[in-house]
Structure 1
Amino acid sequence: MRVFDFDGTIYDGESLFDLYLFSARYDPIVFRHLAPVLRYAIKYKLGRATLEQMERGVGDIARKYLHDLTHSRRVNALCERDNTNEADDRGDLDVILDGVARDVETGRIVAPQTERASSGGLDALVSRFWDRNMRRIKPWYHPQPDDVILTASFDVTVGEACRRLGLHNLVASTIDPETLQVTYLNFNTNKPKRFRELFGDDVIVDEFYTDSRFDQPMIDLARSAYMVKGDRITRIK
């Protein structure tokens, strides 16, 4: 089994922050969240925030940000325009979750399907974002159907990229679509915890790829591990 961190590893950048800036093109109201977003992004990358601080702070920011998006007339107008396309061309998260449900029925191990992603304009916004940014998936990464993406980013954003890459296994932070509350932050020690919950304690991780030493718990779990800096990949275990 191959397991990959997403942001900075196979994606060139921080997808959640990039989506935030992208959404500001449709409704500048989200700029009011810029300062706290930057503050927690820096703390995350420097490892200067505890898990409890991240859960509390990121959860509050995410809820307010998603509230603005789901109530934005401009963003929902984007959804209305995209709904004129044929159903087979949709990139929305309902399609992704329907596919996940079918995989569960066949016995495949996949990311939890009980969390329903926010619908409407957010779906259209995420789809439009990946129309523009799939090119930022690094060229060295060649997806295999059983690859696992393990990320602190949210399922409502990374899930669409995984669908387009043909991947079925996503372990990510999750959001309750009804309350817009963060229900699980897949950060730091939560990553191996969630991974084991989904795949079992006896699973063998043949290769793990990351851009950060803060993923040391997953590095310890893997048979071999690789540090990714840009397009340079260095074996560290």
Structure 2
Amino acid sequence: MNAYDFDKTIYENDSTVDFYRYCIRHNKKVLLALPKTGLYGLAYLTGFCDKTTFKQAFFGFLKYLDNPSSTVDAFWRCHTHKIKACYLKRKRPDDVIISASPEFLLRPVCGETVLIGSRVDARTGKFSGKNCYGQEKVLRLLERFPGCTPEEFYSDSLSDTPLAQISQRSYIVLGEKLIPWAEFRKGKA
């Protein structure tokens, strides 16, 4: 099995940010959530709340969508072209995609591929569990596949080091370029 982060690894950008922008363009009501998002963003940046709490406040904009499921489907009809060619060439049936992005957002584009993401209610923005980030990705992967060791792991971020450490080989993805994890870390030191 190979494991992949999603945003900026398989997908060119951050899918959550792109989805939020898409929602603003198509439904100005989502801007009503902006004051709360700003307040929690400041609280997160100053250490008064954790990332999951901030992201739950951010996803509060979902309650302003009439039909979140159809909005997600419409979003992917316009954004599937941002799936990177380097992933499509390596894609295997036993891949696992593990992301901090919400499962409801990624499920339509991931299809039958195993997906482990943040568990967020698409209607309310409420999390059930922690943001799937850093060490939480390892815990969630091992919960789903006890004792597994991914053959290869791909990510754009050193925040995924815990998952890279349990994988046989790991790579940083910069655009379409792959850099062995250890080599990339050396260059950052």
TM-score (norm 2): 0.84
After the TM superposition, which segments of 4 or more aligned residues of structure 1 sit over 3 Å from their partners?
32-41, 176-180
**Within 2, Cα distance between the matches of 1:215 and 1:195?**
13
Amino acid corresponding to residue 56 of structure 1 in structure 2: T
In the TM superposition, residue 191 of structure 1 has moved relative to its aligned partner by 0.8
Aligned-residue offset at 1:25: 2.0
Higher mean Cα deviation, 143-152 or 172-181? Answer: 172-181
Contact kept in structure 2, 1:40 and 1:54, CA below 8 Å: no
* CA deviations over 1:10-49 (Å, ceiling 9, x no partner): 10000011001101122112134457768988x99xxx78
Partners of 2:117 and 2:161 in 1: how far apart?
17
Which position in structure 2 is the counterpart of 1:145? 93
What residue ranges of structure 2 are gaps of 5+ in the alignment?
183-189
* Distance in 2 (alpha carbons) for counterparts of 1:154 and 1:23: 15
Provide the residue aligned with 1:216 in structure 2.
161
Q: Distance in 2 between matches of 1:59 and 1:15?
A: 16
Deviation at 1:168, TM superposition (A): 2.6
Q: 3-state SS of the aligned residue for 1:65?
A: helix
Corresponding residue pairs, total: 178
Contact residue 152 and residue 187 of structure 1 kept, 8 A? yes
User: How far apart in 1 are the matches of 2:155 and 2:38?
Assistant: 22
Q: Which residue of 1 aligns with 2:9?
A: 9
Letter in 2 for 1:61: F
Structure 1 gaps, min length 5: 70-119
CA displacement, residues 120-174 of structure 1 (integer Å, 9 cap, x when unaligned): 71111111111111100001112212100000000110111101xxx33000001
Structure 1: how far apart are the matches of 2:20 and 2:158? 25
Find the aligned partners of 1:191 and 1:198 in 2 and give their Cα distance: 11
Q: Hey, what's the Cα distance between the residues in 2 that align with 1:152 and 1:10?
A: 13
1:206 paired to 2:154: no
Structure 1 partner of 2:64: 68
**Considering only aligned residues, what root-mean-square deviation do their CA atoms show, in Å?**
2.6
Structure 1 residues 86-111: Cα deviation after superposition (integer angstroms, max 9, x where no partner):
xxxxxxxxxxxxxxxxxxxxxxxxxx
Quote the sequence identity (%): 28
1:162 and 2:110 aligned: yes
Cα drift, residue 220 of structure 1: 0.5
AA paired with 2:135? T
Normalising by structure 1, report the TM-score: 0.68
Q: Are the aligned partners of 2:62 and 2:123 in contact in 1 as well (CA < 8 Å)?
A: no
Are residues 177 and 131 of structure 1, via their aligned partners in 2, closer, same or farther at CA, if it must alter by over 3 Å? closer
1:40-87 CA distance string (max 9 Å, x none): 88x99xxx787x61111111221x211111xxxxxxxxxxxxxxxxxx
